[in-house]
Chain A
Amino acid sequence: MFENLTLHELQIYWWSIISLLGGLFVFIMFVQGGQTLLNQLSGNETEKTMLVNSLGRKWELGFTTLVLFGGALFAAFPLFYATSFGGAYWVWLAILFTFIIQAVSYEYRTKAGNVFGARTYETFLAINGYLGTFLLGAAISTFFSGAEFRLDDNNFVYWMSSTRGLEALAVWQNYLLPFAMIFLVRIIGGMYFLNNIDHEPIRDRARAMIKRNILYFLPFFLAFVGWVLFKDGFAYDPVSKAVTLVPMKHLGTFIELPWIGAMFLLGVVMILVAVFNSVFKAKNCCIFTVGIGTVLTVMALLLNVGLNGTSYYPSVYDLQHSLTIENSSGSHYTLAAMSYASLMVPFVLAYIAYVWHAMDRVKITEEEITSSGEHHY
């Protein structure tokens, strides 16, 4: 089946999967958003523990999505994996550090003998929530702004900046997406709490928080979208493969491939509808609307930057070294073989959804968190 597709079709298929995973990952980063809200949404230690336990049942999904995202990039676009991870060394290591400290914090926070005390683990969660999200946003932003690298004739990477990725922070536009993401994941985190915790004081605070954060989110998000749509994009010629700067390339892609543009608009609308329903209609079910909206929005942005003859990881040091889905992918054989494995993805999503449903049928309550018969974080 997959072996009959052309290499380019497989590259598009795999870029679509990467985009889907990227979208799912940003959605599941409601865990990171929630981690930034532990103090703000709780009035006492029990409420804080309710918040931690609510997130604690989902954090591993995000972690696993991150791991799969890395593995899929390694297998499908190994030149990106080699270039970006090896090149932007400090950005990626900093991101990983924030996730390493997240992984232990849920389990260790309230355990006797945890050496550093509960506050330290809560700080770890906050660092992961703010800094992890910020740096991931900055890393994704370089898909649009470019990075400073060159490749030799073996396709080995030479990073041209000694700050190894941190130089991206010297470009002011690279701050727009990170801040937009921080506010977005806080909003989604709030909606997750609304849905998962049956406790009015927390719900009231969450609604108020969402109301404020949408006002912070929108300026950053609109500025980011405006920058992306109207900036010069890094386009490549389908025949010569030469990379050139093309005015408003990303806007052009949304118009030339209207299904991606429609996906983007639908996603944004769903996010706004979810916010409206949560805040003004006091609904608690909007995590799914905002979730699908986020997946669609992020997926559309990633599809935009990778498809339609666009370089998704431009080299501003030398445009001709920029990465495209064509020059950075795995071989036809590997992409086809991996495509069979990808058929498992719907099955995996189905059992995740089933378990989510089975576990969240009973909402978290104060009684459950204060009872001694349950495993608690």
Chain B
Amino acid sequence: MEPMASELVDWSRAQFALTALYHFLFVPLTLGLSFIVAIMETIYVKTGDEKWKKITRFWMTLFAINFAIGVATGLIMEFEFGTNWSNYSWFVGDIFGAPLAVEGILAFFMESTFFAVMFFGWNKVSKGFHLLSTWLVAVGSNLSAFWILVANGWMQYPVGMVFNPDTVRNEMASFWDVALSPVAVAKFLHTIGSGYVIGALFVIGVSAWLILKGRDVIEAKRSMVVGASFGLLVSIFLAVSGDESAYQVAQHQPVKLAAMEGLYKGEERAGIVAWGVLNPDKQIGDDRPEFLGDVTIPYALSFLGYHDVDAFVPGLDDLVYGNPDHNVESAASKMIKGKIAVEALSDYKEAKKAGDEAAMAAANAKLQQYMGYFGYGYLEKPTDIVPPIAITFYSFHVMVGLGMWFIVLFLVVLYLLMANDITRFRKVLWVALFSLPLGYVAAEAGWIVAEVGRQPWAIQDLLPVGIAATQIEAGNVQLSFWLFALLFTGLLIAEIKIMLRQIAQGIHGGH
């Protein structure tokens, strides 16, 4: 295993990032709107009020426009592990492939089969069966999110496997350890939470626009009640699940946590930076200040990361150079252990060729002892363990700040809907409308924190991206990157224009 050319690895990463970011423009709305539509249809079935049917079908049409492009951009995600990360696919395919296959069996068919009923079955199946189908589409979408996030969670925190030196790959030892890993569960809850919030923002934003234009005001207000109630609940849920997610990061990816907070020198009773501008000249290990300016909430990071206000939170300096006082091992020490693991694997193969079973057993014992550091064996220098700090830091803070804003927004909108006449508060309606895209900004920022913050690892501690990619001339990936960029951008423009035209037709317009 030799690290590949950085140009190839960077293009491979860029292509994955591009396709994932595009895909995640559409997935969250599917996750959230599917439930909102199901709630609306339930009200229709319960009340028999035709207005609710109109409302349901309006949002369902927007759902379908979004769903189509979500499916289109999702296809590539599954195959890209093979096309662009083929070494990875072998090295961990025995574990990683299973959730994807289960996703296909349990979730995708449910989603796609009942999607057809949801859209074409109004006059073909009973009301009850139609409602069930709508709920099953929502359940299917969310189940699918669960399995793919199990896979992603495993990349952040690999568990439930053993390394087999004969096949040179990790093999699953416990399906349930993989499926119910605390990182996977936290990631799932937080990600679907973000989808629900986007669904709610979408509904209140579009409804606000309809009210501002004086179109279908009664239906728009009803939609807004559903959107804002759902939104308030799920935005609080999002904050709680975000807290759990950050706790998991602190436990299993301390370097990512330090980058998220711009924390260089570890400290006890560490605070959270509520607002800050990073010092661009700051280097790991030097004495320059971390921030040009910042506002910090004392104790909060220790509490968030370790549920203990006195806890020591290691900074990047500690994680790179070690801090014996707090039992933080240096990256250099881990690299030495990683190289022992890599050499042990090589010794094992030599011994196997020679038919020397005693030597094989000895090499394997050493390999298993140091396997947790295997990926470090391929790093060139200790600072390689640090992800891009500025991108991770700012993305994290944008995400958290917007998450807080959404709670306030839903609260205000719901209050005005219930206790007052929201149509008189035009500024609030405009704010609701302009907050719609912010949901997407927050969700994409969240993924940037998760994935850029994971660098340099494809699999945390086990496999750096430089080993994981497909061995191919970089020009091929460069070309496919631009093809994807062109195609997805074209489709996105079409999607947005169709969506806007459909919204402009209003709730009583065509479907």
- Residues on A lying within 8 angstroms of B by beta carbon are 57-58, 60-61, 63-64, 66-68, 70-76, 78-79, 81-87, 89-90, 92-93, 96-97, 99-104, 106-108, 111-116, 153-159, 162, 164, 330-331, 333-334, 337-338, 341-342, 344-345, 348, 351-352, 355, 358-359, 361-362, 372-375
Contacts and interface: CB of A to CB of B under 8 A. Distances in A.
B94 A330 contact: yes
B168 to A, nearest CB: 4
Interface stretch (B108-116, B267-275, B433-441): B108-116
Interface of B: 1, 57, 61, 64-65, 67-69, 71-73, 75-76, 78-79, 81-87, 89-90, 93-98, 100-106, 108-117, 119-125, 129, 164, 167-169, 171-173, 175, 349, 470-473, 476, 480, 483, 487, 490-491, 493-495, 497-498, 500-502, 510-511
Contacts of A87: 86, 470
B310 to A, nearest CB: 42
B498 A112 contact: yes
Given A78-B90, A81-B97, A355-B116, A68 B68 contact: no
A100 B113 contact: no
A373 to B, nearest CB: 7
Contact of B105 (A93, A331, A334, A342): A342
Given A93-B480, A162-B473, A71 B97 contact: yes
Nearest to B77: A67
Given A86-B83, A355-B117, A68 B65 contact: no
Given A78-B97, A331-B164, A374 B90 contact: no
Given A99-B75, A100-B75, A154-B168, 20 more contacts: A64-B112, A71-B103, A73-B97, A87-B86, A92-B79, A103-B71, A106-B68, A108-B65, A111-B65, A112-B501, A113-B494, A116-B490, A156-B87, A156-B90, A164-B476, A333-B173, A334-B95, A355-B114, A358-B121, A359-B120
B167 A155 contact: yes
B82 A85 contact: yes
Contacts, number: 272
27 contacts: A60-B113, A61-B113, A66-B75, A67-B75, A67-B108, A71-B97, A74-B96, A74-B97, A81-B93, A82-B86, A85-B82, A89-B476, A92-B79, A96-B76, A100-B72, A104-B69, A104-B72, A108-B65, A112-B502, A113-B500, A113-B501, A153-B168, A154-B90, A351-B109, A352-B109, A375-B61, A375-B119
B175 A337 contact: yes
B97 A57 contact: no
Instruction: Give me the 3 closest cross-chain CB pairs, A-B, nearest first.
Output: A86-B86, A85-B82, A78-B93
A107 B97 contact: no
A312 to B, nearest CB: 16
A74 B81 contact: yes
Contact of B498 (A63, A99, A111, A341): A111
A156 B1 contact: yes
Contacts of A73: 97
Given A74-B97, A114-B494, A159-B472, A64 B1 contact: no
A373 B494 CA distance: 25
A333 B79 contact: no
Nearest to B106: A344
Contact of B82 (A58, A74, A158, A337): A74
Given A111-B65, A111-B501, A156-B1, A361 B124 contact: yes
B124 A358 contact: yes
B97 A76 contact: yes
Contacts of A337: 98, 172, 175
Contacts of A107: 64-65, 67-68
A155 B90 contact: yes
Nearest to A156: B87
A156 B88 CA distance: 9
Nearest to B496: A113
B470 A63 contact: no
Contact of A359 (B83, B125, B173, B490): B125
Nearest to B64: A107
A345 B123 contact: no
Contacts of A74: 78, 81-82, 89, 93, 96-97, 100-101
Contact of A341 (B84, B102, B120): B102
B497 A115 contact: yes
Contacts of B106: 341, 344
Contacts of B115: 60
B510 A372 contact: yes
B97 A114 contact: no
- Most chain A beta carbons < 10 A, residue from B71, B96, B491: B71
A154 B510 CA distance: 58
Contacts of B495: 104, 108
